[in-house]
Structure 1
Amino acid sequence: MTDALFIYVPPILIIAGTLGNFMSFLIMRSKEFRNTPSSFIYSVLAITDTAVLYTGLLRYWLVEVWDYDPRLDSDAACKIHLFVTYLIGHLSACYLMLLTIERVISVFFPMHCKTLCSKKRMVIAVVIATLVETAFNSIFF
């Protein structure tokens, strides 16, 4: 039973997640949403969540079905995969945190939301979060 779950469920999750994140990305980049500060974070989050599926879940599926682990190819492949896997997971959580902060500001400080949560500030926050998480996860090298 467990083997069947690891064989059949991951491809379904990867395909459904990829399609869902792709549609989310397209909607957030549409004309109606493009200029909102949260649409940028949602777009980046869609890309990051898709990367989580491909770096994490895909590896487990490859090990289970094909008995192939990309981490065993070389020391460099192992380190790079570990770095990317943890980085993407941490970035996804950071982007959710930024989105939550933006929502809190819009609820508790609605009059200041346009200035505190401008699109430019959201882009800067995403860049800073990405740089901090990249430095944090550089321990794998």
Structure 2
Amino acid sequence: MNVSYPYVIDSNCTLAGLTAFELLNESTWDPLQNVSLEEDVDFMNCSYLRHIVNLNCSSTDHLCRCTRDIYWSYCSETPAYYSYIYRIIGTLFQGIILVIGVIGNVMVVIVVAKNKNMTTPTNCYLVSLAIADCAVLIAAVPQEIVSYYLIGNHWIWGRVGCAIMIFLQHLGINASSLSLTAFTVERYIAICHPMKAQTVCTVERAKKITLLVWVFATCYCSPWLYLTTVVPQTYAVDYPTEECTFKLSRDQYFLYYFLDIIVFYVVPLLLSCVLYTLIARILFTSQVPKNPTVNGHHDKKRVSSPRVQVSSGQMRECLSCKKKD
């Protein structure tokens, strides 16, 4: 861990030592006149002494330098950095996740967009998932890599960058959850109700649902553009540092986070559990004939498996798409 201070703190500089100076009672030190000798905690109130850091003390002014050093010692956080091994390992793995994740998801979008025969309801939701994953990766991973080389929670992207990155992270996660839910519903209809799927699970309807998912997620997450801010930090370094954090107190975000959990986690999870249970029941209890032959010949007319119905339905869907092209 590397530690640095803007000033060399005198080991003999203590609160008790300060009281020995008669200058403590002079009018130039009005902020310190009411300090009680017995109450060290009151004397070291950081908000009370914060202005002292801006003092320009001469090398002969022991009182001024000592007061300033005490401020840095007690009211500033000790700067600490990640070790070089931690930085290298973190950068390597995070970089691999970023590169593979972005390239893989972008390729999914390009392949589906350039091949019209792949424009199916299922692929529409997969494209939506790929875009959501890219948004989360781009908004979160680069900052995580940069943070390995910065002090504490130091933020370098400014107020606008703070708002946009936090917004994109929540947008990508919520849009991904809704896209997965829509995909699950589409699979349930295609497998459990294959005849109805021909009219319900269409490409046009999938595109409209995907658009609705992103519009809803964008509107829901838009408050994050105003609920974040950057605040200065008090690390004992000789350059300004700031942190991307909540604009309001944490208690005021309780309802928002609670709604997040219900809408984007609890409801999709319960719905997915129910639908996949129904899908599993259909697939594993389908009336597939134990003896598929009659008099030594296959009975081609007997098709009672829903899996076969799904496959034939998807084949008809692909043929209809080719006719339209």
Under TM normalisation by the shorter chain, which class is it?
Answer: 0.7 to 0.9
Alpha-carbon distance in structure 2 between the residues aligned to 1:49 and 1:60 = 16
2:110 to 5, 17, 26: 26
The CA deviation at 1:66 is: 5.6
Alpha-carbon distance in structure 1 between the residues aligned to 2:171 and 2:218 = 6
Alignment of 1:119-138 (within 5 A): 119-138=203-222
User: 1:116 and 2:200 equivalent?
Assistant: yes
CA distances 1:47-106 after superposition (whole Å, capped 9, x unpaired): 2211211111222112124666355x12x3322221121111111121111111111111
What RMSD, in angstroms, separates the aligned Cα atoms of the two structures?
2.1
User: 1:16 and 2:100 equivalent?
Assistant: yes
The CA deviation at 1:19 is: 2.1
Tell me which residue corresponds to 1:46.
130
User: 1:6 and 2:109 equivalent?
Assistant: no
CA distances 1:23-43 after superposition (whole Å, capped 9, x unpaired): 222332313312x11222212
Alignment of 1:79-90 (within 5 A): 79-90=163-174
Tell me which residue corresponds to 2:155.
69
Alpha-carbon distance in structure 1 between the residues aligned to 2:182 and 2:220 = 18
Q: Structure 2: which 5+ residue stretches go unaligned?
A: 1-84, 227-325
SS state at 2:195 partner: coil
Identity among equivalent positions (%) equals: 23
- TM-score between the two structures when normalised by the length of structure 2: 0.39
Alpha-carbon distance in structure 1 between the residues aligned to 2:181 and 2:118 = 20
Computing the radius of gyration from Cα coordinates, the structure with the larger value is 2
Higher percent of residues as helix: 1
CA contact (8 A) 1:7 1:65 kept: no
- Greater relative contact order, per chain length (Cα 8 Å cut-off, separation 6+): 1
CA contact (8 A) 1:70 1:78 kept: no
The CA deviation at 1:114 is: 2.1
Higher percent of residues as strand: 2
Alpha-carbon distance in structure 2 between the residues aligned to 1:122 and 1:107 = 16
Alpha-carbon distance in structure 2 between the residues aligned to 1:117 and 1:65 = 49
Q: Structure 1: which 5+ residue stretches go unaligned?
A: none
Alpha-carbon distance in structure 2 between the residues aligned to 1:38 and 1:23 = 16
- TM-score between the two structures when normalised by the length of structure 1: 0.84
Alpha-carbon distance in structure 1 between the residues aligned to 2:149 and 2:92 = 9
CA contact (8 A) 1:33 1:39 kept: yes
1:134 to 1:4, Cα distance in 2 relative to 1, 3 A: same
SS state at 1:112 partner: helix
The CA deviation at 1:3 is: 4.2
Tell me which residue corresponds to 1:94.
178
1:70 to 1:85, Cα distance in 2 relative to 1, 3 A: farther
Alpha-carbon distance in structure 1 between the residues aligned to 2:207 and 2:173 = 19
1:23 to 1:131, Cα distance in 2 relative to 1, 3 A: closer
